[in-house]
Amino acid sequence: QLQLVESGGGLVQPGGSLRLSCAASGFTLDYYAIGWFRQAPGKEREGVSCISSSDGSTYYADSVKGRFTISRDNAKNTVYLQMNSLKPEDTAVYYCAAGAVQAMCAPYEYDYWGQGTQVTVSS
Q: Which residues pair with 93 in a beta bridge?
A: 39, 118
What pLDDT is attached to residue 1?
A: 75
Along the chain (123 residues), what's the average pLDDT of each consecutive run of 10 residues? Answer: 92 98 90 95 96 86 98 91 98 96 92 96 96
What pLDDT is attached to residue 55?
A: 76
Q: Which residues contact 33 (CB under 8 A, 6 or more apart)?
A: 50, 51, 52, 53, 98, 99, 100, 101, 102, 103, 104, 109, 110
What pLDDT is attached to residue 28?
A: 86
